[in-house]
Amino acid sequence: MLNLLVKYAQDNDLAAEPGFRPKDVRWAITCDDGGRFLNVNELGDTNQKRNSGRTFRMCPNLSQPEIKRGGKGCRHFLVDNAEVVALYGDNADDPKVLEKHAYFVDLLRQASAALPELGVIAAMLDDPHALDQIRQALTEGRARPTENVTFVVMDRDPMFLVEDDRWHGWWRAFRKILARKTDAKKKSSKSKPAADRLTPCLASGELIRPTLTHPKVSGLSDVSGLSMGDALVSFKQDSFRSYGLTQSENAAVSEEMAAAYRAALNHLVKHHGRRLAGAKVVHWYTGEKEVRPEDDPFAMLDNPLAFMDEEEEREDAEREAQHRAKQLLESIRTGKRADLLDYRYYALTLSGASGRVMVRDWMEGRFEDLVSNIDAWFENLAIVRRDGMALAAPPKLMAVLGGTVRDLKDLPPPFVGKMWRVAVRREPIPQHAVAQALTRAKIDVVQDQPANHARMGLMKAYHLRKGDRFMEPYLNENHPDPAYHCGRLMAVLADLQYAALGDVGAGIVQRYYPAASSTPALVLGRLTRTSQFHLNKLEGGLARWYEDRIADIWARIKDDHLPTTLRLDQQSLFAMGYYQQKAAPKGKKNNAKEDSND
């Protein structure tokens, strides 16, 4: 996995050198070449409600251990938050903030030997009057103290100093000074570090001196991560150390490779990450060209209707979305999209855990197999609409998962990760997922709520992946399992009661559905006998239609095969039979009703 992340960073030309990383900067403080403050400009897309600013690829960056080695007030160079740079915000008088500001300005002054314009910036930040002007401009722009700031010098051409590479050499030398401080501390220590010997790197395979601490991965704060970032490789407790190795020597990776995989993960989380309950999924592909969004199977899984034309009729859009994966798969196999034949996919499921990155899952495989599996996912979930007129729209993955719980916040992250894998790898659907969906489906029936399409599709998919070749999107009167026909019978009896008596409040469904779905032998015979009273209230044609329908279903159940109790999978078949019978076309019944009125 690490070597693939490093390759991703290299292929995408990400800033992966140690001591550098991309950063989002929202504000630029502008001055002239004499150090006179001019204005503060907002960067990025200013029309966005949550503008994150402009991304600069090569920003100086110190790891947390390096900041500790730097001493009091040690801060990042050239790009930092408004609180530190301009003493902006409620904590501006805090002694620690003042120390950080002084350190930041001193770094600018030191680096001016390599880039003279930095001395101009340092002088401006030392001027109390200029600082007041900067703070006033930040206030007018409604800047937040935590938002990053950098600098522009108006010369003949406006120039972002962070994009000028003349300071790079000075910055590398500064980091070496911090490293020498660590080496001196090691030599004075009683315990000799094992990192003095060369060790094979887990990412590159080369003999290296392992880095003791790994850079933190950002972007996981919404899935239990820390706002300051989380470490993918981290050893702290003695119980995780062996053979005299300390810290991250236990997972040997060079500083360069650690910076590369961190750059890859940061880029993937920011640009290709999607949140699934308490986890975040990132994915990428390897191939000659970038996969277009409309050809991305993971995007189809996340939102099947995402790339439909807004002016299309909804039904046409849904039908097109239902076949997008199938059409792409056919194009690959027939050679129309031969460019995708040798592509591979990679997917990581991540979350934070006490300052560490937890890798919940890792998947890789052929692009063609991925498309085939996504196509099978939607094919298995396909279910008739409640009105019986067509298939329901293909559901988002989160809609399917939401069909198992009362609220999305109740979804446990391990379950989300498992179902993501079920969809991507075409694995069997866990029985507990169907158990939860079945519970929610019963509640819907008893409370007379509309059936949830994604929930019913999940139960159908469960049986298909168990090998039930008789399970179809629409009603199948030839299904061999009596449990399925018991559900159908319950639906017909409920329709019969409504036809005879109208809305009676708590009808037979509200009173008997839970019992009938688990112990049909105790309930269905008695309900069928009671149905004679309802038949007597109907006109001849409609009564005969219901009578024939009930008789036909009983013939498929057969008295000697009426189940006494139903297992969990049989209860879900009962639910499927009930739903599909309810959604079955009513043409014949309507004709019978018209005949009875002649």
CA distance 252 to 63: 18
- The pLDDT assigned to 594 comes to 45
List, for residues 345-368, the tens digit of each pLDDT value.
Answer: 999 999 888 888 989 899 999 999
CA distance 33 to 159: 11
Tokens 């890789």 appear where? Answer: 364
- The pLDDT assigned to 417 comes to 84
For residue 8, what are the CA distances in angstroms to 14, 270, 286? Answer: 8, 14, 8
> CA angle 142-146-149, nearest 5°?
80
CA distance 255 to 52: 29
Confidence class for position 311, pLDDT limits 50, 70, 90: very low
Share of the chain above pLDDT 70, in %: 90
* Nearest of 208, 195, 189, 178 to residue 65 by alpha carbon: 178
CB 350 within 8 Å of CB 364: no
CA distance 234 to 357: 9
List, for residues 467-500, the tens digit of each pLDDT value.
Answer: 999 999 999 999 999 999 999 999 999 999 999 9
List, for residues 198-256, the tens digit of each pLDDT value.
Answer: 888 888 888 988 888 888 898 898 888 898 889 898 887 776 667 777 778 888 888 88
For 353, the enclosing helix (H) or strand (E) is strand 344-353
List, for residues 573-598, the tens digit of each pLDDT value.
Answer: 999 999 999 999 865 554 445 444 44
List, for residues 56-109, the tens digit of each pLDDT value.
Answer: 988 999 888 888 888 888 988 999 999 999 999 999 899 999 999 999 999 999
Residue 309, pLDDT above cutoff 70: no
Residue 191, pLDDT above cutoff 90: no
When comparing pLDDT for 193 and 60, which is higher?
60
List, for residues 414-469, the tens digit of each pLDDT value.
Answer: 888 899 999 999 999 999 999 999 999 999 999 999 999 999 999 999 999 999 99
When comparing pLDDT for 186 and 406, which is higher?
406
Mean confidence (pLDDT) of the chain: 87
- The pLDDT assigned to 316 comes to 52
* Six token digits for residue 553: 């279903």
- The pLDDT assigned to 161 comes to 93
Backbone angles phi, psi at 381, to 5 degrees: -80, -15
Residue 20, strand partner residues? 60
* Six token digits for residue 368: 């063609």
CB 412 within 8 Å of CB 441: no
Mean pLDDT, rounded, for 408-419: 86
Confidence class for position 195, pLDDT limits 50, 70, 90: very low
Strands 158-160 and 37-42: unpaired
- The pLDDT assigned to 67 comes to 87
Mean pLDDT, rounded, for 553-558: 90
Share of the chain above pLDDT 90, in %: 53
- The pLDDT assigned to 293 comes to 84
CB 213 within 8 Å of CB 65: yes
Cβ atoms within 10 Å of 196's Cβ, excluding its own: 8
Mean pLDDT, rounded, for 117-146: 93
* Nearest of 348, 334, 332, 330 to residue 287 by alpha carbon: 332
Mean pLDDT, rounded, for 395-422: 89
- The pLDDT assigned to 595 comes to 47
CA distance 467 to 82: 61
**Cβ neighbourhood burial of 444 (10 Å; 0-12, 13-18, 19+):** middle
495 contact partners, CB below 8 Å, separation of at least 6: 546, 582
Residue 519, pLDDT above cutoff 50: yes
- The pLDDT assigned to 190 comes to 46
- The pLDDT assigned to 439 comes to 95
**Phi/psi-derived region of residue 6, left when phi > 0, alpha when psi is between -120 and 50, beta in every other case:** alpha
CA distance 472 to 469: 8
